Amino acid sequence: MNNQMFAATQLNQKNQRTEKLVQLLFILMASLLILPVLVILATLVVKGGSILSIDFLFTDPTNGMTEGGIFPALLGTIWLVAVALIISVPLGIAAAIYLSEYAPDNWFTRLINLAIINLAGVPSIVHALFGLGAFVVFFGFGTSILSASLTLAIMTLPVVIVSTREALQAVPHSFREACWNMGATRWQTIRRVVLPNAVSGILTGIILEVSRTAGETAPIMFTGAVFFSPFLPQGIMDQTMAMSLHLFVVSTQVPGVPENLPYGVALVLIGMVLLMNSVSIAFRMHLRGKKKW
Amino acid sequence: MNIASKEKPVKLAIRAKQLNLWYGTFQALFDVDLNIKKGMITSLIGPSGCGKSTFLRSINRINERLGYVRIDGSVEVFDQNIYAPEVELVQLRKQVGMVFQRPNPLPVSIRENILFGHKIHNKKSGNRQQQDEIVEQALQQVLLWDKVKDRLHHKATSLSLEEQQKLCIARLLPVKPRILLMDEPCSALDPKGTEAVEELIWELRGKYSILIVTHNMAQARRASEECIFMLMGKVVEHTPTNQMFVTPAQQETADYIEGRYG
């Protein structure tokens, strides 16, 4: 035997080259994903960064919305998101707990699952019209934060349900068996063992929902958000301005807006979402660091 | 075949009468008649799929949550039919504890693992001192107290597998079970861990009636007083352990013990 025994054959070399090429291709494709994010952020910062200031955030728009700040819109978005969360989070988590922990595999469960999938696929403008018909007109809530938030909540429910269900299912089955075998009821098991260990996953779903809710325009246009309001909302039955609609308005509907204003609005909106996301990531890492199995 | 019925009066922990069990259309148990004595360690052996785990799981009715399990016949635990309609599953499972193949401590502290059963079964979980007592007693019983007494607040999952399995046994004890079911309790452990857990099981003999499913013939021989051999969902033989391993009554038993199939 000579020491050539483990040397590469021609075929090996060819395979190696293909391997490298393929790897490069995949890295390239994956990196392409970062590109749009960077371009969007860079454009916004370059074109809208100059308008950002504390005053911009905390003053009202003036002079037919061509000057001044965005405070009513900012506050309105916070209202809308908060009320939508108050509605959709308990509902979504309860539904997910039922589906993950209690539901037997029968036609009824399958029907619910089908409904969730379809709800997720409904275009947001359809949600908007539904919200208009159901909450504004039928229930008589009028165009208000309540109507808009209810519409947003229904639209984002599938996200909360699906992510919560996945978080619950990620908790090892052996924990449940251990509890049941000590005579714990299902609810005791869920409350003491399953939920505490699923918190980080559930949280992720909620944050995702926040991001989506903050940016939606169509569902709130007909149901509670207004073009311009001289008053800040005082309660959930008031109308409100909102960031997403405001962005739409200053970009397309109002003449004579300086170029950096819409970019500034977009930058603040995206900044809000990114901030929420990073807070959630930090919180999740903190929680995950504490659990081990 | 069944010596228990001859030696009366013997207190029985578990009595299965003509127990048949189906998973959907598949019949897993055929006319199982067994009398398992109180305070003894009884082992269940047999090849994979012979129904030994199924039988074990029908004693605390944990099979039922699968939804497609059908049962015919009866299982009595301390002379009470556990399939009677008035039986409360929570009470049954409190009395009949179960230990699994893989140790499954909950992802909380050692102390909280022990107190879990106590807390869910009592409205008031007692003061600190009472809780400390419960924890110490349970851990003493499984010979773990000296090892872990200084780190009761550590995560249970930080223990070695052997210690985790002992903890899983210990956490059953505060709710005062009368029967312990063990489904291959040592198969995830190394030989040393196996020895330690076997020693513990032997130690618990008399205080609890213990039923162990095992694949390990040597373990059945070392760590049990009576032995049941099952095959294809039927009970082939139920005798004192040493008798089964020295003079098995049935040809199938002899073949299995000598490793001709399995």
Could you tell me how many CB contacts below 8 A there are between chain A and chain B? 67
Confidence at residue B258, expressed as pLDDT on a 0 to 100 scale: 82
Mean pLDDT of all residues belonging to chain B: 87
Two structure tokens written together for B95: 């009395």
Model confidence over A99-127: pLDDT tens digits?
A: 999 988 889 999 999 999 888 889 989 99
Mean pLDDT of all residues belonging to chain A: 88
CA–CA separation, A83 vs A77, rounded Å? 10
Asked if residue B237 lies in contact with residue B225, where contact means CB atoms within 8 angstroms, the answer is no
CA–CA separation, A273 vs B175, rounded Å? 49
Considering chain A, what percentage of its residues have pLDDT values greater than 70? Answer: 97
Interface confidence (ipTM) of the complex: 0.78
Average pLDDT over residues A79-94: 93
Residue B14, C-beta contacts closer than 8 angstroms, at least 6 positions apart: B34, B35, B36, B59, B75, B76, B77, B179, B209, B211
**Min distance B92 CA to chain A CA atoms (Å):** 8
Confidence at residue A2, expressed as pLDDT on a 0 to 100 scale: 58
DSSP per-residue codes, A241-254: --HHHHHHIIIIIS
Average pLDDT over residues A86-102: 93
Model confidence over B220-237: pLDDT tens digits?
A: 888 889 999 998 988 899
CA–CA separation, B108 vs A29, rounded Å? 42
Confidence at residue A26, expressed as pLDDT on a 0 to 100 scale: 95
Cis status of the peptide bond prior to B9, with omega within 30 of 0: yes
CA–CA separation, A224 vs A237, rounded Å? 9
User: Chain A partners of B102 at a C-beta cutoff of 8 Å?
Assistant: 174
Q: Report if residue A76 sits inside a domain.
A: yes
**Min distance B70 CA to chain A CA atoms (Å):** 16
Asked if the Cβ–Cβ distance from A182 to B104 is below 8 Å, we say no
CA–CA separation, B126 vs B111, rounded Å? 14
Q: Report if residue A57 sits inside a domain.
A: no
Q: Report if residue A35 sits inside a domain.
A: no
Q: Smallest Cα–Cα separation from A223: which of A124, A145, A154?
A: A145
Average pLDDT over residues A141-150: 92
Confidence at residue B9, expressed as pLDDT on a 0 to 100 scale: 62
Q: What is the CATH number of domain B3-105+179-257?
A: 3.40.50.300
Considering chain A, what percentage of its residues have pLDDT values greater than 90? Answer: 40
**Min distance A198 CA to chain B CA atoms (Å):** 12
Average pLDDT over residues B20-24: 90
CA–CA separation, B169 vs B94, rounded Å? 13
Average pLDDT over residues A203-211: 84
Average pLDDT over residues A175-196: 89
Average pLDDT over residues A149-177: 91
Confidence at residue A111, expressed as pLDDT on a 0 to 100 scale: 92
Asked if residue B81 lies in contact with residue B74, where contact means CB atoms within 8 angstroms, the answer is yes
Provide the CATH number for the domain around residue A257: 1.10.3720.10
Asked if the Cβ–Cβ distance from A175 to B102 is below 8 Å, we say no
Q: How many CB atoms lie within 10 A of CB B250?
A: 15
Confidence at residue A10, expressed as pLDDT on a 0 to 100 scale: 87
Q: Check pLDDT > 60 for residue B262.
A: no
Confidence at residue B1, expressed as pLDDT on a 0 to 100 scale: 46
Residue A12, C-beta contacts closer than 8 angstroms, at least 6 positions apart: none
Residue A147: which domain range?
A: 69-290
Confidence at residue B157, expressed as pLDDT on a 0 to 100 scale: 86
Asked if residue B214 lies in contact with residue B45, where contact means CB atoms within 8 angstroms, the answer is yes
Question: How many distinct structural domains can be found in chain A?
Answer: 1
CA–CA separation, B193 vs B199, rounded Å? 10
Average pLDDT over residues A176-191: 88
Asked if the Cβ–Cβ distance from A183 to B102 is below 8 Å, we say no
Q: Report if residue A122 sits inside a domain.
A: yes
CA–CA separation, A18 vs A10, rounded Å? 13
**Looking at residue A59, what DSSP letter applies?**
S
User: Chain A partners of B65 at a C-beta cutoff of 8 Å?
Assistant: 180
User: Chain B partners of A289 at a C-beta cutoff of 8 Å?
Assistant: none
**Looking at residue A122, what DSSP letter applies?**
S
Listed ranges A206-215, A275-284, B106-115, B116-125; the one with the highest mean pLDDT: B106-115
Model confidence over A2-48: pLDDT tens digits?
A: 567 788 888 988 999 999 999 999 999 999 989 998 999 999 999 88
Model confidence over A222-266: pLDDT tens digits?
A: 898 888 887 788 888 888 888 899 999 888 888 888 888 889 999
Q: Report if residue A17 sits inside a domain.
A: no
Range of weakest confidence among A4-8, A146-150, B192-196, B211-215: A4-8
Locate the chain B residue with the closest alpha carbon to A185. Answer: B90
Identify the residue among B58, B106, B114, B153 best suited for mutation to test binding to A, counting A beta carbons within 10 A and taking the highest.
Answer: B106
Burial bucket for residue B75 (CB in 10 Å: 0-12, 13-18, 19+) = buried
Confidence at residue B8, expressed as pLDDT on a 0 to 100 scale: 52
Q: How many CB atoms lie within 10 A of CB B91?
A: 12
Q: What's the predicted TM-score (pTM) here?
A: 0.79
CA–CA separation, B22 vs B39, rounded Å? 30
Q: Report if residue A50 sits inside a domain.
A: no
Q: Report if residue A21 sits inside a domain.
A: no
Look at phi and psi of residue B20 and say left if phi exceeds 0, alpha if psi is from -120 to 50, else beta: beta
Q: Which residue would you say has higher pLDDT here, A158 or A8? A: A158
